[in-house]
Chain A
Amino acid sequence: MGLLSLFRSKSSSASLAKERLQLVIAHERTNRGSPSYLPMMKQDIVSVIRKYVEIDEDEVQVSMESDENCELLELNITLPQFGAGGTEDNGDIKG
């Protein structure tokens, strides 16, 4: 560390790079083994649920895990709290 570098910004950009990479690589690894139809299937599931309940795409999580002899499809859907949305309460009839 030189004398002048004391006056420069000290935060290390390499450690920031490492943190960002840890996150993105971990995320990409979880998606790695999943079959290519998974995103499309997720879309379809979302549109079926939307026929009945208004949900965000982020509120559906689809993951595929495989054990020794079986594949497990995990579907996690967060529904909005009943009555919290308010659209049903104001009496509008939606077509």
Chain B
Amino acid sequence: MSKIIVVTSGKGGVGKTTTSASIATGLAQRGFKTCVIDFDVGLRNLDLIMGCERRVVYDLVNLVNQEASLQQTLIKDKRVDNLYILPASQTRDKDALTIEGVARVIHKLKQNEFDYIICDSPAGIEKGAKMALYFADEAIITTNPEVSSVRDSDRILGILQSESRRAKMDEEPVKEHLLITRYNPNRVQEGQMLSVDDIVDLLAIPLLGIIPESQAVLEASNAGKPVILDDESNAGQAYNDAIARLLGEERPHRFMEAQKKGFLKRLFG
């Protein structure tokens, strides 16, 4: 039985695509047959983050319109077995997606025995975002420790609870996970940034992980390599922990402590 996970946030630029790429890669590394779908029709970017931008031939809209087969459209990752990328169209807009069309694509993926389908949502709360979350069984709410991101996350939670397929069919609700990205413990300690506890308090959903602000994230996207593959980096390790928790393992949260400052730094701030 395939599990559908949407990575969403409401606000743009918080790390949805980075997260989708790393979560999909992490699940595939653990042997699950995984497909990651870019729902940002018109603003395709997952292909760049995954490093397969030169291999895109057909896209999600071609598949929805039955202009190409699933086998033609899926891009098989070259680094990790079991990992497939379904790119968004760059020339069309979000109106090209329909519930029926997306349902057909999901059905085909299920027939092909995918264990996980990761839906990378576009920003906003319009059609593209609603399409991405409609079929979700679980949701990863990507949030930055910053006022507008937290508010938008709460808004998208409201939409999940009222407009997802599970909500409309009166089924068990979509399982919600909070993933805090670009976390900077030093700034939290100095009272300049909302803390993990503040955000958990405000949004009141279970915490899946904390991804520290890290140079490795930018370097990974520069190279077109999901940051989870950089297992030396804090961010890569934090995504690995998040995967473990997603699969039900208990792991203590890391990267929450401020780094100790040297003597001179302590003196002069």
Q: Are A2 and B268 in contact (CB under 8 A)?
A: yes
How distant is B17 from chain A, measured CB to nearest CB, in Å?
Answer: 25
Q: Are B155 and A28 in contact (CB under 8 A)?
A: yes
Complex Cα spacing A32 to B265, Å: 47
How distant is A51 from chain B, measured CB to nearest CB, in Å?
Answer: 35
Taking chain B's interface residues, is the majority helix, strand, or loop, or is none over half, making it mixed? helix
Select the residue from A2, A12, A28 with max chain B CB neighbours within 10 A.
A2
How distant is B45 from chain A, measured CB to nearest CB, in Å?
Answer: 29
Q: Are B193 and A14 in contact (CB under 8 A)?
A: yes
Which of A14, A18, A25, A28 touches B192 (beta carbons < 8 Å)?
A14
Complex Cα spacing A3 to B268, Å: 6
Select the residue from A4, A14, A33 with max chain B CB neighbours within 10 A.
A14
Quick one: which of A10-59 are within 8 Å of B by CB? Answer: 12-15, 17-18, 20-22, 24-25, 28-29, 32-33
Q: Are A18 and B158 in contact (CB under 8 A)?
A: no
Cβ-based interface call for A69 (8 A): no
Cβ-based interface call for A5 (8 A): yes
Q: Are B154 and A14 in contact (CB under 8 A)?
A: no
What residues of B have a CB within 8 angstroms of the CB of A4 in the complex? 267-269
Q: Are A28 and B154 in contact (CB under 8 A)?
A: yes
What residues of A have a CB within 8 angstroms of the CB of B162 in the complex? 32-33
Cβ-based interface call for B246 (8 A): no
Complex Cα spacing A27 to B158, Å: 13
What residues of B have a CB within 8 angstroms of the CB of A24 in the complex? 151
Answer whether A2 and B193 are a contact pair too, CB < 8 Å, given A21-B147, A24-B151, A29-B154: no
Query: Which 3 pairs show the lowest CB-CB distances between chains A and B?
Result: A2-B269, A12-B191, A5-B269
- 14 A-B pairs, CB-CB below 8 angstroms? A2-B265, A2-B268, A3-B267, A3-B268, A4-B269, A12-B191, A13-B191, A18-B201, A20-B147, A21-B147, A25-B202, A28-B154, A32-B162, A33-B162
